[in-house]
Structure 1
């Protein structure tokens, strides 16, 4: 499995730089539009909360894009983190194809 050396753009970075700043949206305003507590938005913006399917659907509705956009952004970051964390990468590399297991 190959992964890039450069960390992909995180959901928080994408949310803030590509959506909130151009629209001059505060975390409070976005939280109101999403119908979630401000803390939820703050945690998303600071990459302390992962995007779930429900959050992806909400963000897609608010910004007029697709839930897949948000889920794929999260997925790329998650995979990169696993592949660039020694302990996690070791876990992945211990796995064997089913025909070689046993």
Structure 2
């Protein structure tokens, strides 16, 4: 997984690396995964996260690991949250300093 993947929503990765190369559209993939098309559409639009259920379905379908999909989501979430809260966290949370005996 490249560094740029961490700043991309998993739906973008799903579209670019899986839908487009396989010539799939939302309706076909949703049907094959057994999920509503609007749910998948929301993932692809970056409006919905990859859940464990979706990760398992995508992994089975594309022959990947469920962790691949969950890691994409976790990395994205950390990237976005870090961008928003980095200054506040740095200000509010002091690192633990272990006592030197």
- TM-score, normalisation: structure 1: 0.80
Structure 2 gap segments, 5+ residues each = none
What is the aligned residue count?
A: 95
Task: Report SS of the residue matched to 1:22.
Answer: helix
Choose which of 83, 86, 89 in structure 2 pairs with 1:89: 86
Residue 97 of structure 1 deviates from its aligned partner by 4.5
Find out whether 1:27 has 2:1 as its counterpart. no
Aligned mates of 2:31, 2:64 — CA distance in 1 = 18
Rounded Cα–Cα distance in structure 2 between residues aligned with 1:5 and 1:66: 20
The structure showing larger relative contact order (alpha-carbon pairs under 8 Å, at least 6 residues apart) is: 2
Point out the structure with max Rg over C-alpha: 2
RMSD across aligned positions (CA): 2.3
1:33-54 deviation line (CA, Å, top 9, x unaligned): 1100000110010110001111
2:68 matches 1:69: yes
TM-score (norm 2): 0.81
